A and B are shown apart, each in its own frame.
Chain A
């Protein structure tokens, strides 16, 4: 029982982590809150769904395709709604991404309808027996993919040249530019990577909840924000661990707290407000991973 809950919590937490990493990457590099990130996730979930339904491709091809598509969407958002902004009004990026949110959400309602859409079972869910426990293969797969993406990203930032560029830009746009880093290009890549991760999270949310709607974006965006704060703004490793913590905490809050009241949402926002008041730097401080 406990073991199963831990697996569930880790799975839920891993998807939160993927969302939060996107937020935190963009915050680290640009210092802005990308409000439309949740809608990118929603778009990723629907893209995954339609790729699977229309082309019948297996998940291991459909997932990278959906990630590619949301990555391009992220690049588009940067080009259209972030880059043309003047730098002197600090609220401008926030408000223009709120604009993107409104557009994406309403387009999705028009395209897919306001109700939930069933997500196909792409992988036959088999329950593995481990001792006296049952583990769902879908959960294991989601956890595995998320951890793979997160570890891959960590090494990407820590070891590659582009990752170095991202760290430099997060320190200072000006100095990074003087040192020969193409700042615009790095920002564009960051948006692409962050959005691709959100797309992956969207597909996996579809897999685990079996249904998606145009409104899942906001729910997961809010959870992602809580996780970003928990881990510390701009701290990628913090976002990874923070997601797992929140996922576990939520699952156990359902087990422990009375079920008549919908306390789950209050719980995560309560955590957020407590962190904001008492420890705004998050559990792990605000910084980028160092190579």
Chain B
């Protein structure tokens, strides 16, 4: 039972991280630096609890804010560049963060940062954050800002011509992605009780991308589904556990060839909503449905 709970908790943290990648991704920004933001959040939150004796919730929030601040600063130059260049920038950023943490003795350098207080209700906190993110992302889809996100993601030039402030949109998306990653890092640190810079290398950032791409990139349920399934399934199949990473790799290639939009697409969410609507009658369907109103 304990084992099951720990696996589900890790899945929750992975969902947070996958969503942190997804938010900037909505505006067409691919970041390989999410593990870097996660480590900033983890270290900042741990310093708050261990060195300054702050309680859990404010410490994690400070971690998120620190990551968001760094994300904002990194986002400023990142606005001018896109595609492969942005990918390389965030990749370099992730590595720099790791090397910087390795060299700071105050937080244990390469030996790691031990003695972080254990948060026994991590499960609740992690899924609380996931719930808040779901509500937020669902509201976002129907809001002005959410449509701006989509417009920028689909075609930056067209969005700018229509009058979307792409600078603001991209910066907000990038820093809020960093904020979510920082929160995820703080929660992770207080669950593991020990962090070291190697826990946040590029391959982990890649893992978050795999979750997102596997689940689906058209709608936020995709990353949630992807992170949950890809964390849980290997845990319960020993054979898969051993070959987990090879399987991830093969899965990624096959997905790209067969179904590049991911397992969960906008249509599949729509059909599930319709099915729920038929089961519970129209009024519930109207509440649950996050479909955009047709016609204007």
List chain A positions with a Cβ less than 8 A from chain B.
Answer: 27, 33, 80-81, 84-86, 89-96, 98-103, 105-107, 218, 222, 225-226, 229, 233, 261-262, 265-266, 269-270, 272-273, 276-277, 280
User: Known contacts being A99-B248, A99-B249, is A222 close to B87, with CB within 8 Å?
Assistant: no
Q: Decide if the interface of chain A is mainly helix, strand, loop or mixed.
A: helix
Q: Show 18 residue pairs from A and B whose CB-CB distance is below 8 angstroms, ordered by the A residue.
A: A85-B256, A86-B257, A86-B260, A90-B83, A92-B256, A92-B260, A102-B245, A103-B246, A105-B245, A106-B246, A106-B249, A107-B246, A222-B91, A262-B99, A262-B102, A273-B89, A276-B81, A280-B85
Question: Do the beta carbons of B260 and A266 come within 8 Å of each other?
Answer: no
Q: Which of A33, A81, A277 has a CB less than 8 Å from the CB of B253?
A: A81
Given A265-B95, A269-B92, A280-B85, 10 more A-B residue pairs with CB atoms under 8 Å apart are A81-B253, A85-B256, A86-B260, A92-B256, A98-B252, A262-B99, A262-B102, A269-B93, A272-B88, A277-B89
Q: B213 interface residue, CB < 8 Å from A? A: yes
Bound CA span A85–B99, Å = 36
Interface 1/0s, chain B 198-226, versus A by CB < 8 A?
00001100100110010000000000000
Bound CA span A105–B99, Å = 22
Closest partner residue, chain A, to B248 (CB atom): A102
Interface residues on B, range: 35 or more
User: A113 to chain B: closest CB distance in Å?
Assistant: 15
Q: Which of B84, B88, B99, B250 has a CB less than 8 Å from the CB of A266?
A: B99
Q: Which of A33, A84, A272 has a CB less than 8 Å from the CB of B92?
A: A272
**CB-defined contacts of B251 to chain A, threshold 8 Å:** 99
List chain B positions with a Cβ less than 8 A from chain A.
Answer: 30, 77, 80-81, 83-85, 87-89, 91-93, 95-96, 99-100, 102-103, 202-203, 206, 209-210, 213, 245-246, 248-253, 255-257, 260-261
Question: Do the beta carbons of B92 and A102 come within 8 Å of each other?
Answer: no
**CB-defined contacts of A272 to chain B, threshold 8 Å:** 88-89, 92
Bound CA span A276–B90, Å = 11
**CB-defined contacts of A266 to chain B, threshold 8 Å:** 96, 99-100
**CB-defined contacts of A273 to chain B, threshold 8 Å:** 77, 89, 92-93, 96
Question: Do the beta carbons of B103 and A218 come within 8 Å of each other?
Answer: no
User: B269 to chain A: closest CB distance in Å?
Assistant: 19
Closest partner residue, chain A, to B92 (CB atom): A269
Interface centre among B88, B91, B209, B213 (most CB of A within 10 A): B88
Question: Do the beta carbons of A270 and B96 come within 8 Å of each other?
Answer: yes
**CB-defined contacts of B253 to chain A, threshold 8 Å:** 80-81, 96, 99-100
Question: Do the beta carbons of A95 and B245 come within 8 Å of each other?
Answer: no
Question: Do the beta carbons of A277 and B257 come within 8 Å of each other?
Answer: no
Bound CA span A98–B202, Å = 11
User: Known contacts being A98-B209, A100-B249, A102-B246, is A222 close to B256, with CB within 8 Å?
Assistant: no
Q: Which of B80, B202, B250 has a CB less than 8 Å from the CB of A99?
A: B250
Bound CA span A90–B87, Å = 13
User: Known contacts being A33-B84, A265-B95, is A102 close to B77, with CB within 8 Å?
Assistant: no
**CB-defined contacts of B103 to chain A, threshold 8 Å:** 261-262
Interface centre among B81, B83, B84, B100 (most CB of A within 10 A): B84
**CB-defined contacts of A98 to chain B, threshold 8 Å:** 206, 209-210, 249, 252
Bound CA span A106–B244, Å = 9
Q: Which of A92, A106, A261 has a CB less than 8 Å from the CB of B245?
A: A106
Bound CA span A280–B80, Å = 10
Bound CA span A265–B96, Å = 8
**CB-defined contacts of B30 to chain A, threshold 8 Å:** 91, 94
Question: Do the beta carbons of A276 and B213 come within 8 Å of each other?
Answer: no
Bound CA span A78–B102, Å = 37
